[in-house]
Chains A and B, each alone.
Chain A
Amino acid sequence: MADSYGIIASFADTPSFYHAAEKVRDAGYKKWDTYSSFPVHGMPEAQGQARSKVPIFTFLGGITGFTVGTLLVWYMNYFDYPLIVGGKPFFSPVFPFPVMYELTILLAAFGTLGGMFLTNLLPQHYNSLFNSETFLEVSGERLVIAIESRDPKFDSDLTRQFLEQIGGTDIEEVTK
């Protein structure tokens, strides 16, 4: 079906949800995901996902903050407008350390939040899954696995059977 987003299946409890995810991974599906209103311990491994890339953004933010902090103080108090205050040096790595330190943390935090949004491809205005009322119940108690139709292994009937086999209930096709 051209207007099909994919198939969703619900699972009764966290252990069966977790083991079902392992089976979907082993079956070789690529375009699929698990949906639960809380993070499940060890789920990235069960889904066969690599380590998150967020730390790269944190690092870039932190480096930028440290550099900006150092250059800021050097430029303002040493280069552009040197002013004698209490006989203290115009620049040294010691006294501006609080400024460098705080800016490192500030920009690293922005990098982390921004990195979380980028790696998750958020903000996202529309997603077909929200067309399903069953899917909306994920916010409460429901645990859902969705296999997308753009997955090369996807076959409307076979995938439905597969999800039934691994213990899925309330199996439903979601339209785009």
Chain B
Amino acid sequence: MAINPNDSLIEDSQVELLAKVDPAELIEQPLVGNQRSFGWVTDKICRIVETPTPTWWWVCMAVALITAAFTGMGLLWLVSTGVGVWGLANPINWGWAIVNFVFWIGIGHAGTLISAVLCLLKQGWRTSINRAAEAMTIFAVVCAGIFPLFHVGRVWFAWWLFPLPNANAIWPQFRSPLEWDVFAVSTYGTVSVLFWYMGMIPDLGVLRDRALQRLKSDAYSGSNLLAKAMDIFRKYFYGLLAMGWRNAGNHWRNYEMAYLILAGLSTPLVLSVHTIVSFDFAAAQLPGWHTTIFPPYFVAGAIFSGFGMVLTLMLPLRAIYGLHDFITQRHIDNMCKICLGTGSIVGYAYIMEFFIAWYGANPYESFAFINRGFGQYSWAYYMMFGCNVFTPQLFWFSAVRRNAALVWVMSIFINVGMWFERFVITVTSLANDFLPSSWGYYSPTIVDIFTFFGTFGLFSILFLLFLRFLPLLPIAEVKFVMPAADPHGHQDSKGGKR
């Protein structure tokens, strides 16, 4: 908005100056493109779940099911034989399992960051991506949970991780960071589900009401009994989930308060989860792990990888469902900039680790880092450094950010790079420990590879089901940031209220 010379806040001397410099008008991109109406927004989002299942969905589902079967095979193989079928061997007793666990948990972080941290920071642009990103969080936590669960070996005893009385009359050992992790990850998963569900209640009510409307007007032709049956299913399915929500001002008052509080609770939660995951390493006394930089560095890396995954998922969805008015260039720009910011923090951490290894003058620490950069796993280190440090730097250029295909390819690089980061951290420190006589070289077995590969299928199955049955974008929140939602009629409202 241009500065108005008649504005009472501007002094006389400034008016002359303003006339001379003729300030340019700064146009802010609207959060919902093409000045859409509320009705259009509702229709567009609801039709994603109301129209018949598209063919591509079935194709993707079939591929996802076949892929997920690999995890099934890997786990069946593991449980029926023993953890020995993984590539773990002394001194490398933590391999792909922990790498994959940290990788998936990290991906989850963007969802909570978008829904909670950006909510507290009043970033209106978060609204159109937060639902899908929260779903991504929950499904990523599900995939992550598989690895520690099966790494315990006798998976039927995994419930001993929880403070439940058992026949041996012993309890979990709370002095271990691994036990803290049980609490952090299970709390994270649960609170994410609560937040996701609560955010969806008004939209589930919308889907319920639309089914009710169609049933009441009975707009089904004789041959369209399937459509009617589906609407009866929707009436009960969404009706049950919406819990009788009726869009009342009184509802919204309590709902808004609860939403804000959940955002306030999730913000320290998301920061604590990857901090505690990093304690799994940092509380050990191994060179390369025993560093205080780990918690902030892990959290930044998690957000980085999470936004990478959000871009990987949202760019194709935007194209398939034609969501260009919701996920505008402004949204993509912002996500790229967050990748750039967190990617730079990660790059800084890589370099600072090297500096401290030298500055700390501890020969074991120095060796651990020289070994990372130039030892037997240097190929993995360069992969990590290239993908995580150099790739996001391209986001400085708006020409790169405007090229959706290129952004998508780069988001894949980020995903790959962040997986390698966890591999480098875990394996290099273990493979070359204090005693050269015990050094080894870690390679995964086919069972490791099957189990990890399949989790992408599992993730896809869950995400595809989410696309078909739940509202992909938060309808109420998108409406809230539209200019027409302003009670004082400010048509130039830029949103960004919540």
A residues adjacent to B (C-beta < 8 A): 13-15, 17-18, 21, 33-44, 46-47, 49, 51-55, 58, 72-73, 76-77, 80-81, 83, 85-86, 88, 95-96, 98-99, 101-103, 105-106, 108-110, 112-113, 115-117, 119-120, 122-127, 129-130, 133, 136-141
Q: A34 contacts B209, CB within 8 Å? A: no
A-B contact pairs, 30 of them (CB 8 A): A14-B484, A14-B485, A14-B487, A15-B486, A35-B249, A36-B252, A37-B206, A37-B479, A39-B256, A41-B480, A44-B253, A76-B172, A81-B169, A98-B180, A98-B276, A101-B272, A102-B187, A105-B265, A106-B190, A109-B190, A109-B262, A109-B266, A112-B258, A113-B197, A119-B254, A133-B217, A136-B216, A139-B205, A140-B42, A140-B206
Q: Tell me how far the C-beta of B175 lies from the nearest C-beta in chain A, rounded to whole angstroms.
A: 5
Q: B183 contacts A99, CB within 8 Å? A: yes
- The tally of residues in B whose CB lies under 8 Å from a CB in A reads 72
Q: Would you call B364 an interface residue if the criterion is a C-beta within 8 Å of the partner chain's C-beta atoms?
A: no
Q: Would you call B269 an interface residue if the criterion is a C-beta within 8 Å of the partner chain's C-beta atoms?
A: yes
Determine the chain A residues whose CB is within 8 A of the CB of B257 once the complex forms.
51-52, 54-55, 116
Determine the chain A residues whose CB is within 8 A of the CB of B42 once the complex forms.
37, 139-141
Question: What does the 1/0 interface line of B39-58 toward A look like (CB < 8 Å)?
Answer: 10011000000000000000
Q: A37 contacts B253, CB within 8 Å? A: no
Q: Which of B239-247, B321-329, B414-422, B462-470 contacts A (4 or more CB under 8 A)?
A: B239-247
Using A36-B249, A38-B476, A99-B174 as known contacts, say yes or no to A117 and B243 having CB atoms under 8 A apart.
yes
Question: What does the 1/0 interface line of B132-175 toward A look like (CB < 8 Å)?
Answer: 00000000000000000000000000000001000001111111
Which of B177, B194, B251 is close to A120, meaning CB atoms less than 8 Å apart?
A: B251
The docked-state distance in angstroms from the alpha carbon of A118 to that of B212 is: 26
Q: Would you call B475 an interface residue if the criterion is a C-beta within 8 Å of the partner chain's C-beta atoms?
A: yes
The docked-state distance in angstroms from the alpha carbon of A112 to that of B258 is: 6
Using A15-B488, A81-B169, A98-B180 as known contacts, say yes or no to A37 and B254 having CB atoms under 8 A apart.
no
Known: A85-B176, A140-B210. 5 other contacts (CB 8 A): A39-B252, A44-B249, A52-B254, A105-B187, A106-B190
B258 — nearest CB in chain A belongs to which residue? A116
Q: Tell me how far the C-beta of B70 lies from the nearest C-beta in chain A, rounded to whole angstroms.
A: 32
Determine the chain A residues whose CB is within 8 A of the CB of B213 once the complex forms.
133, 136-137
Q: B255 contacts A39, CB within 8 Å? A: yes
Q: Tell me how far the C-beta of A19 lies from the nearest C-beta in chain B, rounded to whole angstroms.
A: 8
Q: Would you call B338 an interface residue if the criterion is a C-beta within 8 Å of the partner chain's C-beta atoms?
A: no
The docked-state distance in angstroms from the alpha carbon of A138 to that of B177 is: 50
Q: Tell me how far the C-beta of A119 lies from the nearest C-beta in chain B, rounded to whole angstroms.
A: 4
A92 — nearest CB in chain B belongs to which residue? B175
Interface residues of B in 202-226 (CB under 8 A from A): 202, 205-206, 209-210, 212-213, 216-217
Determine the chain A residues whose CB is within 8 A of the CB of B479 once the complex forms.
37-38
The docked-state distance in angstroms from the alpha carbon of A29 to that of B421 is: 62
Which of A76, A95, A96, A120 is close to B254, meaning CB atoms less than 8 Å apart?
A: A120
Which of A54, A76, A109 is close to B174, meaning CB atoms less than 8 Å apart?
A: A76
Q: B480 contacts A98, CB within 8 Å? A: no
Using A44-B253, A116-B258 as known contacts, say yes or no to A77 and B175 having CB atoms under 8 A apart.
yes
Q: Would you call B268 an interface residue if the criterion is a C-beta within 8 Å of the partner chain's C-beta atoms?
A: yes
A-B residue pairs, 10 tightest by C-beta = A124-B244, A18-B487, A76-B171, A52-B257, A34-B249, A98-B180, A116-B258, A38-B479, A123-B243, A139-B209
The docked-state distance in angstroms from the alpha carbon of A47 to that of B171 is: 53
Q: Tell me how far the C-beta of B64 lies from the nearest C-beta in chain A, rounded to whole angstroms.
A: 30
Determine the chain A residues whose CB is within 8 A of the CB of B39 once the complex forms.
140-141
A117 — nearest CB in chain B belongs to which residue? B243
Determine the chain A residues whose CB is within 8 A of the CB of B96 once the complex forms.
none
Q: A95 contacts B256, CB within 8 Å? A: no
Q: B488 contacts A102, CB within 8 Å? A: no
Q: B480 contacts A39, CB within 8 Å? A: yes
Q: Would you call B317 an interface residue if the criterion is a C-beta within 8 Å of the partner chain's C-beta atoms?
A: no
The docked-state distance in angstroms from the alpha carbon of A49 to that of B248 is: 12
Q: A35 contacts B244, CB within 8 Å? A: no
Q: Tell me how far the C-beta of A24 lies from the nearest C-beta in chain B, rounded to whole angstroms.
A: 11
The docked-state distance in angstroms from the alpha carbon of A139 to that of B212 is: 11
Q: A41 contacts B261, CB within 8 Å? A: no
Determine the chain B residues whose CB is within 8 A of the CB of A15 once the complex forms.
486-489
Determine the chain B residues whose CB is within 8 A of the CB of A34 once the complex forms.
248-249
Q: A138 contacts B209, CB within 8 Å? A: yes
Using A14-B486, A37-B38, A136-B213 as known contacts, say yes or no to A77 and B247 having CB atoms under 8 A apart.
no
